[in-house]
Amino acid sequence: MLWVIVTLIVTSGAVLDLLPIDMVVTGAGRVVSTEPTAVVQPLETAIVRSIYVHEGQIVRKGDLLAELDPTFSNADASALESQVQSLQAEVDRLNAETSGRSYTPKTSDAAAAVQIALYGQRQSQYRYQMESFHQKISGLQAQLTRAEHDVKAFSQRADIASVLESKRRELERLQVGSQMNRLVAQDQRIEMQRNLTDATGTAERAGRDLKQMMAERDAFEQQWKTQINQELTLRSRALNDAKEGLRKASLRRQLVELRAKQDAVVLNMARVSVGSVMQSGEQFITLVPTNAPLEVETRIAAEDAGYVQLGQRVTVKFDTFPFVQYGLAEGFVRTISADSFTGAQENQRGSVGGQGQQTVWYKARVTIDNIKMHGVPGGFEMKPGMPITADVKAGERTLLKYLFARILPVGLEGMREP
């Protein structure tokens, strides 16, 4: 009888020491998208005008989610459009003046009409000024021509008068001619020299005046072109700034219509209603992409995190369907967070659900590679947000190790209270 008891004890010990059992780390979680959630938010402070979706609604790419009041954005865009039209017409007119061609606007708006009138006035002013210079220059050229002709004529007459005086002086010396005739010839010579001097001075003054007038004409023409180029530079810079502002205003005007960028499900919405004022960058609507691959995000308790490794197999049980009746899914651990999370952090970053009693945990992402579901209701599909329970197979151990792991701490750490 004794040997039977001994045999049973030995056999039981061998079984406990040799029979392996799985080490499983269990964590709660939910199905999530591999792509990040899309947050729809206003670009600037605005009033909510209309809301067209609700939480849980499926939306398609381009669907209108909500509208903001466009009053301010429309006013800014309209003002900038008028400014761009005015500056564009002015730049076109200045380009026409610079190149010397006629100004023909591309549009027939009010800004173009103003520039047409201004172009006509400026061209009239330019032509009048240039015509004035032309007349003055022509007059000075004629004056210079007459003066040069007088210089030539008086020079010839002065030469003749000098010769005549010389002859009269010679006749007087020979007592053939009278002193009076010599004095008359001398007076004529002096008069011709004086006239020659006056004509030469007149020609020199006319030449100087002509050069000065031509310089003034050239200076006016250069100043006119310089002024046009300066105005063109300033207006072109202002036009570029206005166009940039218009692009921004047009973008703001487009963004008063908040649309879905891809197929998605409305995850949650801010607590606002029509007429509410939303601040710039305030979270309004959160969308979860529907066409992105899905995976599981689960919490791993901090005390179990040391057993979980990348690549370990995971059994995923959907809380909606009892796994005994409907089956389960399988996958593997893809990532493990590098740091732990606490309750306060989770409230800020968004909870994955379940295990509210945990104070410290790690997040793990599980890639699903095999779905073994059966008998589920028609039309069932896995969606983001579905709660799950993940069992991570962390290895194997024997029953004896399991018992010792539970009994030894009690014996070693018991009865130590002060």
Domain boundary residue, one of 254, 271, 301: 254
- pLDDT cut 90: percent of the chain above it: 11
Q: Tell me: do 202 and 91 sit in the same domain.
A: yes
Q: Tell me: do 134 and 30 sit in the same domain.
A: no
Inside any domain, residue 269: yes
- Given a cut of 80, whether residue 1 has pLDDT beyond it is no
Of 237 and 168, the one with more pLDDT: 237
Summarize pLDDT for 21-49 with one digit per residue, the tens.
Answer: 778 899 999 988 888 888 888 877 888 88
- The one-letter code for the residue type at 202 is T
CATH number at residue 304: 2.40.30.170
Summarize pLDDT for 42-85 with one digit per residue, the tens.
Answer: 877 888 888 999 888 889 998 999 888 877 777 777 888 888 88
Q: Tell me: do 341 and 298 sit in the same domain.
A: yes
Residue 353's pLDDT band (boundaries 50, 70, 90)?
Answer: very low
What pLDDT score does 336 carry? 92
- Given a cut of 90, whether residue 158 has pLDDT beyond it is no
Q: Tell me: do 220 and 334 sit in the same domain.
A: no
Mean model confidence pLDDT for the chain: 80
- Given a cut of 80, whether residue 133 has pLDDT beyond it is yes
- Given a cut of 70, whether residue 263 has pLDDT beyond it is yes
Inside any domain, residue 118: yes
Q: Tell me: do 100 and 219 sit in the same domain.
A: yes
Q: Tell me: do 149 and 187 sit in the same domain.
A: yes
Q: What is the domain count for the chain? A: 3
- Given a cut of 90, whether residue 334 has pLDDT beyond it is yes
Residue 58 phi/psi, 5-degree rounding, is -90, 130
What pLDDT score does 245 carry? 85
Inside any domain, residue 69: no
Q: Lowest mean pLDDT of 205-209, 305-309, 399-403, name the range.
A: 399-403
Residue 355's pLDDT band (boundaries 50, 70, 90)?
Answer: very low
Q: Tell me: do 124 and 213 sit in the same domain.
A: yes
Q: Tell me: do 164 and 25 sit in the same domain.
A: no
Inside any domain, residue 53: yes
- Given a cut of 80, whether residue 239 has pLDDT beyond it is yes
Inside any domain, residue 1: no
What pLDDT score does 324 carry? 87
What pLDDT score does 316 carry? 93
What pLDDT score does 350 carry? 46
Mean pLDDT of the region 281-299: 87
Inside any domain, residue 335: yes
Cα separation values, 65 from 35, 251, 264, 270, Å:
20, 17, 11, 13
Determine the Cα–Cα distance for residues 126 and 50; give it in Å rounded to an integer: 58
Q: Tell me: do 115 and 133 sit in the same domain.
A: yes
- Given a cut of 90, whether residue 142 has pLDDT beyond it is no
Residue 9's pLDDT band (boundaries 50, 70, 90)?
Answer: low
Q: Tell me: do 25 and 44 sit in the same domain.
A: no
Q: Is the pTM of this model over 0.75?
A: no
Inside any domain, residue 232: yes
Q: Tell me: do 108 and 195 sit in the same domain.
A: yes
- Given a cut of 80, whether residue 126 has pLDDT beyond it is yes
Inside any domain, residue 13: no
Determine the Cα–Cα distance for residues 285 and 60; give it in Å rounded to an integer: 15
Mean pLDDT of the region 251-277: 84
What does the chain come to in residues? Answer: 418
What pLDDT score does 314 carry? 93
Query: Residue 262: CA atoms inside 13 Å, Cβ hemisphere, count?
Result: 12
Of 257 and 17, the one with more pLDDT: 257
What pLDDT score does 173 carry? 67
Residue 333's pLDDT band (boundaries 50, 70, 90)?
Answer: very high
Range of the domain at 113: 75-254
Q: Tell me: do 313 and 332 sit in the same domain.
A: yes
- Given a cut of 50, whether residue 354 has pLDDT beyond it is no
